[in-house]
Amino acid sequence: MRRTLETERFFEMLSVERVSAFNTLESYRTDLEDFDSFLTTQGVDLLAVQVTDVRAYLSDLTDRGFAASSQARRLSALRQFYQFCYAEDIRDDDPTRTVASPRKAATLPSVLSEEEVDRLIGKAEELANITHDSDAKQIRAARIYTLLEVLYATGLRVSELVSLPVSAAIRDSRLITVKGKGGKERAVPLSPRAQSAMVEYVRLRAAVGAYADSVWLFPSHGESGHFTRQAFGRDLKALALEADIDRNKVSPHVLRHAFASHLLQNGADLRVVQQLLGHADISTTQIYTHVLEERLQKLVEDHHPLA
C-alpha cells in the first residue's frame, strides 16, 4: 500500500483510540493494501475514490472467488477508513456510505452433541490421569484436558483461552475476567471441574519445574510465550481420534459453538449467552436461534393437546 500521512493516522487512531488488537490492525492493513493495489490498476488514488470504484472492487473480489463473507469484511475495513477520512475533514464525503454489504448466507455452526463432548473430555481426563513416560507428555496430557474443561465451561474464544494468565488458576474464584475483542472485559463463570483442572495443571507444572517464571496459564517456548491456537487445534484433532470422533468435526471454535448451543438447549436465555460469548451485537448470537426453534417445537410436540 502506498503509505500516506492519512493512512498512518488511521492506523494510529485504531491502535490508540479504539485499542484494536494487533490481528485486527494487520487485517485492516492487508485489506486496504489489496484495495489500493486494485486502484493502482485503475489509475485511481486511494483518497480520490468514488462509489463506482468501491463497487468495481467488490465485483473484482467476486471474480477472484472471494466469498460474500470475505467481501463484507473487506468492505467493513474500507468503511472504517473512509469514515475516518470524513470525520477528519480529509474528504467531504464517504464513498462507501451507499454501498450495500454483500449478502452472506446464514450458515449454522457445526456443533458436537453433548454425548460427543462428554466423550472427548472424558478421554482427555483419562489420558491426563495415567502416568506417562516423560514429564513433557504428562504436561501435554494435562494441558489438553485443562483447555477442554475451561473452554466448554466458559465458551471463550480460542485466542482468549490460550492467553489466560496463570493468575486465573491461582485465584480461588468462580469467575474469571477475560479481555475480549476491542479490549472489552467480561466476567465468565468457571465450573468446579474447570477450576480443579486448572489448579492441578499448575501444580503439575510446578512439581516438574516447568515454566516457573511464566505469566501464562498455558505457556510455551514460542514467540508469544503462550500456547498457540494452531497447536491447540492440532492436539484437539489428535484427541478426537483417540475418542473415536471424526477429527473433521472437532476444532476449538466448534467447542465454543457447542457451549452456546447446549446452554440454549437446556433453557438459557439468548441475552445471557450473548454476554458469555462476548458478542457486542445480539444479531451475532442469533445464529443459534435454530436451537431455540428446535426446543420450542419439541415443547409444542410434547405438551400441546393436538400434537
Is 256 a known active-site residue?
yes
Torsion sign across C-alpha atoms 106, 107, 109, 113: positive
Do residues 57 and 35 lie in contact, with contact meaning Cβ atoms separated by under 8 Å? Answer: yes
Helical spans, DSSP H, in 17-63: 22-42, 51-63
Q: What nine digits make up the cell of 219?
A: 505457556
Instruction: Give me the catalytic one of 123, 256, 257, 262.
Output: 256
Is 304 a known active-site residue?
no
What DSSP assignment string belongs to 227-296? --HHHHHHHHHHHHHHTT--GGG--HHHHHHHHHHHHHHTT--HHHHHHHHT-SSHHHHGGGHHHHHHHH
Instruction: Give me the catalytic one of 157, 205, 226, 257.
Output: 157
Is 201 a known active-site residue?
no
Is 205 a known active-site residue?
no
d(CA 86, CA 106): 32
Instruction: Give me the catalytic one of 171, 181, 193, 290.
Output: 181
Instruction: Give me the catalytic one of 9, 79, 132, 253.
Output: 253
Give 175's DSSP letter: E
- H/E run at residue 205: helix 192-208
Q: What nine digits make up the cell of 204?
A: 503439575
**Which of the residues are catalytic?**
157, 181, 253, 256, 279, 288
